[in-house]
Amino acid sequence: MTQDRTAGEPIGDSTRSVHAGRPEARPYEPSLPGPVFVSHYHLPGEPTGPYVYGRDDNPTWDLLEQAIAELEAPGDPAAGTLAFASGMGAISAVLLSQVRSGDAVVLPSDCYQTTRALIERLESYGVEVRMAPTAGDAQLPLVDGARLVWVESPSNPELDVCDIRRLTDAAHAAGALVAVDNTLATPLGQRPLALGADFSVASGTKALNGHGDLLMGYVTTRSPELADSVRKWRKTVGAIPGPMETWLAHRSLATLSLRVDRQATNALALARALLERPEVTAVRHPGLPTDPSHEIASKQMRRFGSVVSFTLPDQAHAERFLGALRMTSEATSFGSVQCTAERRARWGGDAVAPGFVRFSVGVEDPDDIVADVVRALDEAARQL
């Protein structure tokens, strides 16, 4: 475990990102042990011990899970993380392990569309699903009688923010658990457990890994009982990460602070440039002082993330713009070192305009990012 410099003086985010989850240095051994590929272990006698079967435990998982727990809840030995094969594996594990027939769940109506795809499954189990938008803490009136309140802040893709502490306090007073999807913020941008949440859930596919080359998810909680219930779900449905993907994700953590710092700075530069364009409307980024979410985000976020959203006049205009970009890949994920963008309405399911663009800002030089976007906007406008 990463140690603080001195008592009462916590180490910095970049130092923690580099060292989190790595074992103590030993002569002639790597700083990060290689992935353990195994389906079963030598298990004489009774089936007890730290590792009994490949679907239950893996030492490569252990190191990544320790690392993420250190990032999500620095200095808290009670925090524990469980890694999953994807972000949806983690999201499904929390929702489906914590509710029963007759329970009520509160979901943001503007959360990630595949999270909303679980509504049909929840309702088929006899679970009541209540929905309200993220903005304005609109979920607040729905928490009474709920078993679980699901929060996504900032929301994907519209980047609305809610007051996590306020919602968490109200939910706990009503006897409900709270889970926060922390994918857009990352643990270096926001720490839901410190804001009172019972679960911090994220897709490690995005910024945590940051290289666009693997799928990963995780759940962090301070409660051993909640962790056990999620772990049992993972074991039962087999939503386990591969050892190679796990090792790659852990390796990528070393640059997490460097990447999210650069991406947040670049995203703000792009958002400011977009505000100058008359054909661009509804520019959103929590770091913009003029953004509707900025006041609340400033109180609970330490970094404002890599995603900028904005709207072009119509579908054709947005597609011309995306087609004119030279250094940005048209892709549906976000958080990678490379800029990516997409017209989000092409998937359906999100209440966004046909010309709505979600732009994930990479770590390229900010002047190059802005220049490429401005040139593509100019080209799209000339084709009218």
User: How confident is the model over 21-40, as pLDDT tens digits?
Assistant: 999 999 999 999 999 999 99
- Under the banding of pLDDT at 50, 70 and 90, the label for residue 363 is very high
The arithmetic mean of pLDDT across residues 109-130, rounded, is 96
Rounded CA-CA distance 205/13 in Å is 20
Residue 9 confidence (pLDDT) above 80: no
Asked if 209 contacts 249 with a C-beta cutoff of 8 angstroms, the reply is: yes
Residue with tokens 């990012």: 369
Among the options 53, 55, 116, 251, which is catalytic? Answer: 55
Catalytic, 51? Answer no
The arithmetic mean of pLDDT across residues 314-328, rounded, is 98
The arithmetic mean of pLDDT across residues 126-143, rounded, is 98
- Under the banding of pLDDT at 50, 70 and 90, the label for residue 48 is confident
| Three-state DSSP state, 203 | strand
Q: In the beta sheet, which residues pair with residue 151?
A: 180
Catalytic, 53? Answer no
Output the average pLDDT for the chain. 96
Rounded CA-CA distance 151/168 in Å is 9
Which pLDDT score, from 0 to 100, does residue 6 have? Answer: 47
Residue 271 confidence (pLDDT) above 50: yes
Residue 383 confidence (pLDDT) above 90: no
Among the options 16, 206, 303, 358, which is catalytic? Answer: 206
Which pLDDT score, from 0 to 100, does residue 5 have? Answer: 47
Rounded CA-CA distance 352/315 in Å is 11
Give 185-214 pLDDT, tens digit per residue: 999 999 999 999 999 999 999 999 999 999
Residue 153 confidence (pLDDT) above 90: yes
CB under 8 Å to 62, separation ≥6 — which residues?
none
CB under 8 Å to 382, separation ≥6 — which residues?
none
Among the options 13, 110, 160, 181, which is catalytic? Answer: 181
Give 155-192 pLDDT, tens digit per residue: 999 999 999 999 999 999 999 999 999 999 999 999 99
Residue 216 confidence (pLDDT) above 60: yes
Give 227-266 pLDDT, tens digit per residue: 999 999 999 999 999 999 999 999 999 999 999 999 999 9
Task: Write down all domains in the chain, each with its CATH number in brackets.
Answer: 13-253 (3.40.640.10), 256-382 (3.90.1150.10)
